[in-house]
Structure 1
């Protein structure tokens, strides 16, 4: 599929999610990434046309905050209000709506906002993100820069091949000032168990396994948009 075709699918998923789940007066967590950005734009469109009012957003990255301001979406912080729900993208979506996130570089803030959302997360994606088993691509782990090499060794002992994410020759640095290790596992049959093991590694601040947080997934394909609700 062409890049333009993929963008149309992302836009369709985001539009359906906003129109279906966002109500006037809500505080909404605003995800990071190309698909989530379409949701921010859709909220801005509806605020401008008057079909939504009083919606405020909690951004998960500096990029998303800047986009929201550009689109006319008022912002609040978690210290002011908790989100009713969050709309965000995903890198992989399992049948039980466990997901991998964070390849866009904002996983710690995304998980903080997702966990604070009273109604959980609505995932928006195109059909290519659906997998039968998580782990087709790397699992991001946000880590403390101090001693990251030791953290990488400890993660490797869990059965993965960790690689420091870089921008050209320099380490990629998150909005929180952390590094990201992209960890390639041969498959992740037990996402909750692996997430617990990773969180026990000193220096591993958060991993991209979002388990039990998604209430729905809105998935767009060329033949239409499908909405999957968590059991």
Structure 2
């Protein structure tokens, strides 16, 4: 129940709830991965159940696909959808230009493919995700398992000429074994501290053999919906140059959120 949530979870919930209002009947919707995106899936599931909303969702991970089916959303593949009306996803960091770091949940490859196959991308986040400069959150890059240590060395060598503060790359682990993405790849987390030129870094990283994709999302996000622990929600539209604010009230009631 929403009244039992921590302030950070309330912020995530109100951002997701507000963003769900942008979803209309008949839409093909990209469904993101992560804790904030999970709130969105549940909000949409509630509308499907209670209001008869008819949408088709394209999930960006097996975790999201399982949750979407659980709450009653019709799940299809991106190949079946071909193109999407809207993708809503979370972010690990975003700046004033709505450039993002994503991939903390390990689904950056599918997330970027789905987001770029959409008419519009909306990011939902709590206020703590906004930064002046990207890079405090480690930048994930997805690499193929073959020769990953060589790829890591090439990445660290390349970072010497980039406008970043740090150059350490670490293999993401899942317990004592390397983390494995839905595509069977590994994740290298780049501890950069601060990224001076995100656009340049994104292009250069993707030129390194073994790198599949990086977690910098540049010129992809159209809107960001920012939630606050007191129920306030701020929506920024980078294309329209507008900022709007409203507030969502919390109601103690049994619903799709009662098991969170």
TM superposition score category, shorter chain reference = over 0.9
CA distance in 2 between partners of 1:56 and 1:79 (Å):
13
Name 1:179's counterpart in structure 2: 186
Q: Distance in 2 between matches of 1:40 and 1:106?
A: 16
Q: For residue 164 of structure 1, what is the aligned residue in structure 2?
A: 171
Query: In the alignment, does 2:40 pair up with 1:33?
Result: no
Structure 2 counterpart of 1:106: 107
Q: CA 1:156–1:122 in structure 2 vs 1: closer, same or farther (change >3 Å)? A: same
Give the structure, 1 or 2, with the largest relative contact order (CA under 8 Å, sep 6 or more).
2
TM-score, structure 2 normalization: 0.85
How far is the alpha carbon of 1:185 from its aligned partner? 1.1
Tell me which of 12, 15, 19 is aligned to 1:13.
Answer: 15
Task: Decide whether the 8 Å contact of 2:31 with 2:59 is kept in 1.
Answer: yes
Q: Distance in 2 between matches of 1:92 and 1:157?
A: 25
Instruction: After superposition, give the CA deviation of every residue in 1:79-123 in whole Å (9 maximum; x if it has no partner).
Output: 11121110000000111000000011101011110111122x100
1:125 pairs with 2:125:
yes
Aligned residue among 192, 202, 209 for 1:195:
202
216-225 vs 140-149, which deviates more? 216-225
Deviation at 1:53, TM superposition (A): 2.5
Q: 1:26 to 1:99 in 2, by over 3 A?
A: same
- Residue 228 in 1 paired to residue 230 in 2? no
**Is 1:95 matched with 2:96?**
yes
Larger Rg: 2
CA-atom RMSD, angstroms?
Answer: 1.3
> TM-score, normalized by length of structure 1?
0.95
> Residue 3 of structure 1: CA displacement?
7.0
CA distance in 1, matches of 2:5, 2:80: 38
Count of residue pairs brought into register by the alignment = 227
1:217 maps onto 2:218 in alignment: no
**Partner residue of 2:60?**
60
- Mark the runs of 5 or more structure 2 residues left unpaired by the alignment: 160-166, 240-260
State how far apart, in whole Å, the 1-side matches of 2:96 and 2:207 are. 27
Q: Which runs of 4+ in 1 moved over 3 A?
A: none
CA distance in 2, matches of 1:188, 1:73: 38
In 2, the alpha carbon distance for the partners of 1:186 and 1:75 equals 38
List runs of 5+ in structure 1 lacking aligned partners: none
Instruction: For residue 74 of structure 2, give the secondary structure of its aligned residue in structure 1.
Output: coil
Please report how far the alpha carbon of residue 174 of structure 1 lies from its aligned counterpart in structure 2 after TM superposition: 0.6
- What are the Cα deviations for residues 135-154 of structure 1, in whole angstroms up to 9, with x where unaligned? 01210000000000011011
